[in-house]
Amino acid sequence: MLIDSTLREGAQAFGIYLGGGTKRRMAELLAATGVDELECGWLGQEELPGFLAWARGALPRPQEGGPFLSAWCPCRVADVRAAAELANAGLLDRLSIGAPGSAAHREKRLGLSLPEMAARVRTVVAAALEFGVPYVSVGLEDVARADADEALELARSAVAAGAARVRLSDTVGLLTPLSTAELVRRFAAELPVPLAFHGHNDLGMATANAVTALQSGAAFADVSALGLGERAGIARLEELAAWLSLRSGRERAGRYDLSHLRALSLLAAQAAKAQVERSRPVVGADVFAAESGLHVHGLLRDPALFEPFAPELVGAARRVCVGAKSGGAALNAALDAALARLGRADGKAQADPGLLSRVRELATRLGRPLTDSELSRVL
């Protein structure tokens, strides 16, 4: 299951400011994609109550296939009391409480010993439930650098107080797939509640670690559009949703509607004042474009030879172009398509012996594949 944190983790990233209209459009696209939970912000955020009220009225409810609405808060009684007011008003389904999992975070940020931290977790979780929060998740921050036994003690304290989920947070992105698997398997074996995984991308492994966590026993993974988040961000929604939807023989195959991912990614890029890289996995403009001879020849025989899924699944279209790297088969196919689009089709095109050389020469001079009109001019 995917917990989308674009509106919380993504909104916390340096230089990113999500206006009300952008947040609402993102939420609509996320709900249409089918994310299981929408982390809408954090307690203390002025616009959170109003946004939750809008989301509860505008988005499908969980029983209708819509996302659960959640928010994040630190491990403090005052914050869970404020969250309970939202929950009791019917606006908040779940609350994620952040608790330092490593000794460094526990001692330097809060000045607490392990027993004191465990006691605080028990007190805050119990208070949240007593105040009326229906579902409490406790996130162990910096768990990758924590002593595993100490982190497990905190997790057990949360569960004993009534937490419904424990979230393992690789706060500075130090885990690898192998160490993620080891960590998740140990916690899954020793805890009676579902696990979630929140992985940062400081070393470029967030999405791989999130996939590994789900394969190793985690029930949830945190994601955001384009991976937006603090520093290098977190696991990428578009990549994890595609993997979950396309893996064969698994119970959640087809769970997510990937056709909204491109629009969502463009919106996220606009908020981040950035461009979606043309070769970005799943949503890049050129991930279904081909020019080289071997690649194009294979696509003409069977697109599945060089494509993991059909471009239509993500709202894209295949593009076969000719240029300096093309062969005869690609050129003939491009001629057919180009002439048809220009209204000059009169049977199968066959390139004359010098045409391929002229195409390659022009493409080399321009430094890119040719457009249809450029191709027609060298005929």
Q: Where are the domains of the chain?
A: 2-271, 289-377
Nearest partner of 18 among 276, 268, 277, 275, judged by Cα: 268
- pLDDT above 90: residue 147: yes
C-alpha triplet 78, 79, 83: angle, nearest 5°:
120
SS (H, E, C) 255-276: CCCHHHHHHHHHHHHHHCCCCC
- Quick check: helix, strand or coil at residue 212? helix
User: Residues 177-228: pLDDT tens digits?
Assistant: 999 999 999 999 999 999 999 999 999 999 999 999 999 999 999 999 999 9
| Selected residue with higher pLDDT from 56 and 325 | 56
What does the pLDDT read at residue 216? 97
What does the pLDDT read at residue 256? 93
- pLDDT above 60: residue 69: yes
The rounded distance, in Å, linking the Cα atoms of 20 and 2 is: 23
pTM: 0.89
User: Residues 221-252: pLDDT tens digits?
Assistant: 999 999 999 999 999 999 999 999 887 444 44
The rounded distance, in Å, linking the Cα atoms of 218 and 120 is: 25
What does the pLDDT read at residue 252? 47
- pLDDT above 50: residue 20: yes
Which amino acid appears at position 293 of this protein? G
Averaged pLDDT, 327-347:
66
Q: What are 76's two structure tokens?
A: 């403090």
Percent of the chain with pLDDT over 70: 89
- Quick check: helix, strand or coil at residue 118? helix
Considering the domain 2-271, what is its CATH architecture?
Alpha-Beta Barrel (3.20)
Q: What is the mean pLDDT of the chain?
A: 90
User: Residues 21-64: pLDDT tens digits?
Assistant: 999 999 999 999 999 999 999 999 999 999 999 999 999 999 99
Q: Do 29 and 267 meet the contact criterion of CB atoms below 8 Å apart?
A: yes
User: Residues 253-278: pLDDT tens digits?
Assistant: 467 999 999 999 999 999 999 999 99
| Selected residue with higher pLDDT from 31 and 366 | 31
The rounded distance, in Å, linking the Cα atoms of 345 and 28 is: 43
The rounded distance, in Å, linking the Cα atoms of 237 and 281 is: 11
